[in-house]
Structure 1
Amino acid sequence: MSKQNDSWQVEQLGIDIVPETERSGKPLQLFWIWSAANIGIMGIVYGAIVVSFGLSFIQSVLATVIGIASFALVGLTSFAGKKGRTTTLTLSRTIFGIKGNIAPTFFSWFNLTGWEAVNIITGTMTLAALFQAMGFDITVTTTIISLILFAGLAIIVSLLGQATVIWLQSWCTRIFGTLTLIVVIYIAAITDWDRVLSLPGGNWLTGFLPAVTFVAAGTGIGWALAGADYSRYQSESSSNKRIFGAVVGGACIPLFLLLLTGVLISVQLPDLASSANPIALIGSVLPPWMAIPYLLAATGGVITIAVLSLYSASLNLLTIGVKVKQFVAVSIDAVLVLGVAIYVLFISGDFLDPFIAFLIFCGLFMASWDAIFIYDYFMYRKKLGYDPEAMFGDKNPPVRTLALFCWLLGAFAGLAVTNTGFIDGPFAVGIFKDSSLGLFVSFFVSLIAYAIIPKQSKI
């Protein structure tokens, strides 16, 4: 991390080991990073989607709590960042080998790039709605301008040093978090609580579990691959307990409030989960005087998420082996993301259904990787540390075949019992039909498989 007076320079470190002289990070910085990453208004839409699984209020709240508890995985991968002083998927090379690690890193990059596309689409729609609230008509031109402004700001910030990201995220959390909290309080105040509490209960297997899976895939499981990207600058004196508390607390507090608000507002807006522009629809229940502050908060919240997605995606591209500077990697990701955003905004128009299918599909591969990475850290790297020669040199075998097999075994086991929306598993029947249990299958199959393979194939 650059010194503070140089924090506005373009990031130069990439995936290199962080020098001891730059390890000055404190756990509080992680709190601001992960709070900012989860104050986006899209969390309200998540809450509405949870209710759309046919759940009662109590079931929806419980599914929310269990789902966001998956952010504990991000807290655990953050320990590895402090220990190894480089990015999460670079540390993963010690497990799979430099070449073998390309496959899980590609899925990580694909996941983050997909998230970035979702963020750019959401941010563009939100900014367009803000222009509408200011008296402009929503036209193709307005949408193009919104896309250029939003994407440009996210890309520029992603190019800067991590000190800049931390500084901006801390202030974004304070400003946009406060505005978001005002919106949340207002929605809670106008909610018809009798209707909310009288929501009928749903099936615990085919309704509740898919809701938990959806929330987990979109929160902790999806973000675990980026934990070390931001903790790698932590001081050696930073305790793991404080790091864990900062990461989990920073993420879960805003997430819970936003998802709970989505549960409440779904009574007034039953079509929210299927809306083409859910952000604008939420704004329709607010009084005119609150529309502009609400849309400002929504835009700012999405920007903070977009910055982290694009920043980490560019690091993964470097880890795959693309020999470019980080600012070039960010630019490559930006071009791909803009292509997807343009297609959805101006051609397809469909947003939420592909989004859910994307989350479930990526979640299966990332859950199996999470299991192996966390097990490996606690069983071996916590004590032995991460050898730079195993990550950047030739000390490690190019491919650790058994570890790679364990990852793929879990991922394909999960796919086999899951209907992802575009891939239907052959065994997604009975208790697995529409239950999304495949996420848990992926995690535990990979965990057990990796635990039983010989120790010498892991170190």
Structure 2
Amino acid sequence: MGAQKESSSVNVLGIDIVPEDQKTKSPTELFFVWCAANIGILGVVYGAIIVSFGLSFFQSVLAAIVGVASFSLVGITSIAGKIGSTTTLTLSRAGFGKKGNIAPTSFCWMNLMGWEAVNIITGTLTLSALFVAMGVEESVYLTALSLLLFGGLTVFVSMLGQNTVLKMQEWITRSFGVMTLIVVGYLLSTADWVAIMALPQGDWLTGFLPAVSIIAAGTGISWAIAGADYSRDQSRQSSNSGIFAAVVGGAALPLLLLIIAGILLTAQIPDLASHENPIAAIGTLLPSWMAVPYLLAAVAGIVTIAVISLYSASLNLLTIGVKLKQRTAIAIDAVLVLGVAIYVLFVSGDFLGPFISFLVFCGVFLAAWAAIFINDYYVHRAHCGYRFEELYGETGVNKVTLGCWLAGAISGLLVTNTGFIDGPFAVGIFASSSLGLFVSFFVSLIAHRILSK
């Protein structure tokens, strides 16, 4: 099916269909991929963001569970990857048409670029916090050094190849996972439970649901576009339920632990969600013998997450039709995200504000795409599969599908304040919330269900 001959690695296949003799992976490997991809320290910040919506401890934990359940979307796109044997956005061509798919794929590429910038920023802040925990005085020069070191480390690891990165992830998952358990245990034993349990109950409609949508936007909705990228070489003997369980379980296990840690930390750092460097604030609460190895493992974890984002972004460029060698595409992406990281770290000085706005804005478009992809999969592909002509033929534009995607995205934007785009109907329960993600998802889902053939 056009696979390159110089290597049998999926890494060099680009967006070509994986040959049957290379479909040898098991669901267990997907567990480690998604566990490592979600074991970053940013999960702790998510916990602080949840509490910032004015929720009680019980509501905060429930919001984390419901939000992380959005990884079911990644589970479904991963199953589609086993069936279609190619990348997620290439499979999306079956519903949108080859040319029609350029629009959502371009947006997904921009989303991955934004996430890559978040990874670079988070990695830099974490490395800076590590140096501070080791006794180095915090300064702008330390931040610059941390950015240089983390960026160089990310580029170096990305050149090692996808298979090497996946092997690294297994080690990182185990080491950082053990450290996370130790930290969570420490926080549970030292937490101010009186203050935590005294948190007042928030509004379920204007507090709980927006918190859920923020977590969903940052986890399952954002990662849904990459599910098939890592499952397309799954063996035909891998069960759909096994793939789904491995993906969702691998992501949920570390995320829930980290988010709960963030919820506990807010009792000791009430302004954690608005802190200029929330990761450094986290480091100050841990004893040095715990903070140093924990932050060191966190840096390693963020490096592999950054490499995964760069890899998926380069695949999206190929899907759009940009003809570049994968290393060239990765280099271009790296330059772009470095510019964004420099602006946030040294000019704006605000990380969480733009981060939340980014999550909400991208989430509206990605939720609409996910609704269409899932409906298309269950209605047309689950039993009949994907035809080669639908993925690689000149299928033009499916106007109905593209219209359903735009209708959902625009509907979501109309009721959402993203920080730089204020929807005219973002009033009442939609004011200062992110409920537009739900609007976007269900408008696209219902419209596509009714109008698609």
TM-score, structure 2 as length reference:
0.96
SS at match of 1:107: helix
Deviation at 1:300? 2.0
The correspondence of residues 56-455 of structure 1 with structure 2, limited to 5 A, is 56-394=56-394, 396=395, 398-455=396-453
> How far apart are the structure 2 equivalents of 1:262 and 1:139?
25
1:73-122 deviation line (CA, Å, top 9, x unaligned): 10011011001111100111111111111110111111111011011011
Matched pairs, number: 448
Q: Quote the offset at 1:55 in angstroms.
A: 0.5
Return closer, same or farther for 1:410/1:64 CA change in 2, 3 Å cut-off: same
CA contact (8 A) 2:34 2:247 kept: yes
Supply the AA of the counterpart residue of 1:403.
Answer: T
CA contact (8 A) 1:159 1:311 kept: no
1: distance between equivalents of 2:276 and 2:355?
12
Query: 1:87 and 1:153 mapped to 2: Cα distance?
Result: 26
Measure the CA separation in 2 of the matches of 1:175 and 1:18: 32
Query: CA offset at residue 10 of structure 1?
Result: 10
Write out per-residue CA displacement over residues 144-177 of structure 1, whole angstroms, 9 at most, x where no aligned residue: 3321221222233334443223211111101121
The question of whether the paired residues in 1 share the 8 Å contact of 2:10 and 2:18 is answered with no
1:273 deviates by 0.4
Shift of 1:325: 1.1
State the alpha-carbon separation in 2 of the partners of residues 135 and 61 from structure 1.
34
Contact 1:214/1:360 (<8 A) preserved: yes
Q: Distance in 1 between matches of 2:191 and 2:139?
A: 33
Q: Is the 2:134–2:288 Cα contact (8 Å) retained in structure 1?
A: no
Q: Confirm or deny: 8 A CA contact 1:314 1:326 kept in the other structure.
A: yes
- In the TM superposition, what are the counterparts of 1:18-57 in structure 2 within 5 Å? 18-57=18-57
Aligned partners of 2:80 and 2:158: how far apart in 1? 23
AA in 1 matched with 2:113: T
Contact 2:128 2:280 in 1 (8 A): no
Q: Secondary structure at the match of 1:189?
A: helix
Give me the whole-angstrom Cα distance separating, in 1, the residues matched to 2:10 and 2:249: 30
> Distance between the aligned counterparts of 2:379 and 2:155, measured in 1?
38
1:360-387 C-alpha deviation (Å, 9 max, x unpaired)? 0100000000000011111111222112
Q: Distance in 1 between matches of 2:165 and 2:294?
A: 23
Q: Deviations over 1:384-433 (max 9, x none)?
A: 21122222222x2x111111000000000111111112211111122322
Report Cα offsets for 1:153-205 as digits up to 9, x if no partner: 22333344432232111111011211122112111111011111110111111
Instruction: Give the counterpart letter for 2:409 in structure 1.
Output: A
Q: Which amino acid aligns with 1:354?
A: P
After TM superposition, give the deviation of residue 454 of structure 1 in Å: 4.5
CA contact (8 A) 1:41 1:180 kept: no
Q: Counterpart of 1:427 in 2: which secondary structure?
A: coil
Give the match for residue 16 of structure 2.
Answer: 16
Q: Which SS does the other structure have where 1:383 is aligned? A: coil
Letter in 1 for 2:221: I
* Matching residue's letter, 1:88: T
Higher mean C-alpha deviation, range 428-437 or range 182-191: 428-437
Are 1:180 and 1:298, in contact at CA under 8 Å, matched by a contact in 2?
Answer: no
RMSD: 1.7
Partner deviation per Cα, 1:2-31 (whole Å, 9 max, x = no partner): 9xxx89x89321111111121111100000
Q: Is the 8 A contact 1:100 1:399 kept in 2?
A: yes
CA offset at residue 304 of structure 1? 2.7
Percentage identity across paired residues of the two chains: 66
Q: CA deviation at 1:437?
A: 1.9
Q: Which amino acid aligns with 1:295?
A: L
Q: Distance in 2 between matches of 1:154 and 1:232?
A: 25
- After superposition, the Cα gap between the structure-2 partners of 1:160 and 1:378, relative to the gap in structure 1 and judged at 3 Å, is farther
CA positional deviation for 1:294: 2.1
Distance in 2, matches of 1:218 and 1:419, equals 17
Q: Which amino acid aligns with 2:381?
A: R
Q: Which moves more between the two structures, 26-35 or 324-333?
A: 324-333
Relative to the length of structure 1, the TM-score reads 0.94
Unaligned runs of 5+ in 1: none
Looking at structure 1, the residues matched to 391 and 332 of structure 2 have their Cα atoms a distance apart, in angstroms, of 24
Cα deviation digits, residues 24-68 of structure 1 (max 9, x gap): 111000000000011111111110110011011111111111110
- Would you say the 8 A contact 1:180–1:297 is kept in 2? no
Q: Give the counterpart letter for 2:219 in structure 1.
A: T
Runs of at least 5 residues in structure 2 that lack an aligned partner in the other structure: none
* Bigger Cα displacement from structure 2, 380-389 vs 363-372: 380-389
Give the Cα separation in 2 of the matches to 1:181 and 1:260: 11
- Structure 1 residue 206: deviation in Å? 1.3
CA distance in 2, matches of 1:134, 1:75: 40
